[in-house]
C-alpha cells in the first residue's frame, strides 16, 4: 500500500504564506519604508560611523572658523594698507585758477617727489572718466582755465606702485 506523506502543519502553512506573499502585488512605498527602517536600525548598531561623521563635522566647523578669522585679519590689513597708501602724499595749494598745486610727501618714509614720476588728470562728471592733462608730468601743476569746475587727480608712480591723490572738490574760477 502506498504511504501518504503528511507535512507538519507549521511547515505547510509557512509555504502557503510565502506563496501568498509572492502572489500579492508589491507595495513600493511599504517596501521603501521597510528599507529605511532597516537602514536606521543598522545605523543605530554602528555608532562609530555616526561618531566619525560628527567628528568630521566638528573639524570642518573649526576649519571654517579659522578661515573666517584669517579672512577678517586680511581684510583689516588691506584696509590699513589702503589708508597708509592714501596718506603717503597729499596735494598742497589753493584750488583756484591762477594758483598751482604741489604733491607733497606726508611722511619721511616715502620717496621724495624727485624720485617719482607723475601724471595729472581732469575727472569729468560723466561716469567718472579721467582726461589726461597733456604735459602735466611734474609734482607741481599750474591750474589752467580748462580746470575750472573740474576735479583734478594726480598719479604718483614710485617703486612700481601707483598712488593717487585727488582734489577735495572742483577748481574755483578764482578772483577776477
Do 61 and 101 reside in the same domain of the chain? no
Do 104 and 43 reside in the same domain of the chain? no
pTM greater than 0.75 (yes/no): no
Do 18 and 59 reside in the same domain of the chain? yes
CATH of the domain at 100: 2.60.40.2700
176 lies in some domain: no
Dist CA 145 CA 72 (whole Å) = 47
Q: What is the pLDDT of residues 15-47, one digit of tens each?
A: 777 666 666 666 788 888 888 988 888 777 776
Do 56 and 95 reside in the same domain of the chain? no
The size of the chain, in residues, is: 176
Q: Determine the pLDDT at residue 65.
A: 83
Dihedral angle of Cα 64, 68, 73, 75, to the nearest 10 degrees: 140
* Pick from 7-16, 43-52, 67-76, 119-128: least confident: 7-16
What is the chain's percent helix, strand, coil content, to nearest 5?
Answer: 45, 25, 30
Residues of the domain holding 72: 9-83
Q: Determine the pLDDT at residue 84.
A: 58
Q: Determine the pLDDT at residue 142.
A: 94
Amino acid at each position: 500500500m502506498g504511504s501518504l506523506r503528511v507535512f507538519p502543519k507549521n511547515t505547510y502553512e509557512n509555504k502557503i504564506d510565502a506563496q501568498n506573499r509572492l502572489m500579492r502585488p508589491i507595495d513600493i512605498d511599504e517596501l521603501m519604508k521597510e528599507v529605511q527602517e532597516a537602514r536606521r536600525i543598522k545605523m543605530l548598531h554602528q555608532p562609530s560611523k555616526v561618531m566619525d561623521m560628527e567628528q568630521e563635522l566638528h573639524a570642518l566647523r573649526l576649519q571654517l572658523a579659522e578661515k573666517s578669522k584669517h579672512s577678517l585679519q586680511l581684510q583689516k590689513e588691506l584696509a590699513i594698507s589702503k589708508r597708509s597708501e592714501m596718506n603717503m602724499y597729499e596735494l598742497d595749494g589753493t584750488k583756484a585758477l591762477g594758483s598751482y598745486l604741489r604733491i607733497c610727501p606726508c611722511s619721511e618714509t616715502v620717496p621724495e617727489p624727485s624720485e617719482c614720476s607723475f601724471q595729472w588728470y581732469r575727472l569729468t562728471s560723466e561716469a567718472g572718466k579721467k582726461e589726461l592733462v597733456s604735459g602735466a608730468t611734474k609734482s607741481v601743476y599750474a591750474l589752467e582755465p580748462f580746470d575750472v569746475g573740474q576735479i583734478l587727480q594726480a598719479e604718483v608712480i614710485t617703486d612700481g606702485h601707483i598712488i593717487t591723490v585727488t582734489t577735495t572738490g572742483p577748481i574755483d574760477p578764482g578772483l577776477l
